[in-house]
């Protein structure tokens, strides 16, 4: 149930390779839970309600979907090969999952650099025709930032562990990240493609102080407002079902931008075009 996806540097903008798979629907009584390990340098075990669920979970590993009945689950994250969950490194925390919903749980660093965990609800709402959605989640030990689109601030004062999102017209935008209140890019600019009916979710994780900031991009497709896609109801972080994730270093991204290139692996769920 674990998978690691390695990103490399190449000429061009953010690129991806797609593999077609059957669509997956969330039941009316269950929820989908995905897990992203975003704490640098810490291999862990993950316990759910006292049971070992993910063994030797490493930084940049991902798992899911865990198909779980709606309810509240106690999650504890321990050192690797711990005898039980009695001495967690993170938690225990209670995660409340609602039926017919999709979630991503992220183990990450807080703004001060201490390990923590956050639960995000993945937006599966319909996207208007001709548009895609961009979601940005700040899960790094780093200051507040502004996200710039075509040189203007699209999202401002984004702090850990917050998220922002907006529907944007289909096309390519020039994206960059700057310290809040400035327009001088600290990272970027780089071209990002907004695809119709797709929620593109960008995570920043790692530590600015330790110079190991990392970028992950999760995609959810099939959110069209007109026939042409089937709502997969998944978050795109599935290791077993091979849904999409792009992962790499923000430091590498800065180098990428200087070189005008970034390549990654993306695995997406197939859609039946009608």
pLDDT tens digit sequence for 225-258: 755 444 443 333 333 333 334 333 333 333 333 3
Residue 269 located in a structural domain:
no
Residue 272 located in a structural domain:
no
Identify the pLDDT of residue 226: 59
Closest CA to 34 of 249, 194, 203: 203
Query: CA 261, CA 153: separation in Å to the nearest integer?
Result: 23
Query: CA 227, CA 161: separation in Å to the nearest integer?
Result: 35
Residue 21 located in a structural domain:
yes
Q: Which positions of the chain have pLDDT values less than 70? A: 1-26, 186-188, 226-274
Residue 270 located in a structural domain:
no
- The tokens for 221 are 């497709």
Structural domain including 139 reads: 3-263
Task: Name 74's bridge partners.
Answer: 94
Identify the pLDDT of residue 186: 67
Q: Is 92 helix (H, G, I), strand (E, B) or coil?
A: strand
Q: What length does the chain have?
A: 274
Identify the pLDDT of residue 98: 95
CA distances from 171 to 123, 150, 158, 224 (A): 20, 12, 24, 16
Identify the pLDDT of residue 234: 34
Number of domains in the chain: 1
The model carries a pTM of 0.71
Query: CA 101, CA 108: separation in Å to the nearest integer?
Result: 22
**Secondary element (H or E) of residue 89:** none
């Amino acid at each position: 149930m674990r998978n690691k996806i390695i990103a490399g540097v190449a000429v061009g903008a953010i690129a991806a390779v797609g593999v077609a798979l059957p669509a997956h629907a969330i039941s009316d009584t269950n929820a989908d839970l995905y897990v992203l390990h975003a704490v640098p340098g810490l291999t862990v075990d993950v316990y759910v309600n006292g049971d070992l669920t993910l063994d030797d979970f490493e930084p940049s590993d991902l798992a899911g979907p865990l198909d779980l009945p709606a309810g509240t689950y106690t999650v504890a994250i321990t050192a690797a090969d711990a005898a039980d969950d009695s001495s967690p490194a993170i938690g225990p925390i209670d995660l409340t999952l609602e039926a017919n919903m999709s979630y991503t749980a992220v183990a990450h660093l807080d703004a001060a650099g201490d390990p923590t965990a956050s639960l995000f609800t993945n937006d599966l709402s319909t996207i208007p025709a001709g548009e895609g959605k961009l979601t940005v989640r700040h899960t790094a030990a780093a200051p507040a930032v502004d996200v710039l689109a075509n040189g203007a601030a699209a999202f401002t004062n984004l702090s850990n562990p917050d998220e922002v999102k907006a529907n944007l017209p289909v096309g390519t935008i020039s994206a960059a990240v700057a310290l809040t209140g400035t327009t001088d890019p600290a990272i970027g600019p780089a071209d990002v493609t907004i695809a119709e009916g797709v929620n593109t979710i960008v995570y920043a994780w790692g530590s600015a102080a330790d110079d190991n900031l990392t970028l992950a991009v999760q995609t959810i497709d099939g959110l069209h407002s007109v026939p042409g896609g089937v709502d997969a109801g998944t978050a795109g972080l599935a290791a077993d079902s091979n849904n999409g994730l792009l992962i790499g270093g923000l430091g590498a991204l800065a180098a990428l931008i200087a070189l005008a290139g970034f390549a990654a692996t993306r695995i997406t769920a197939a859609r039946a075009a009608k």
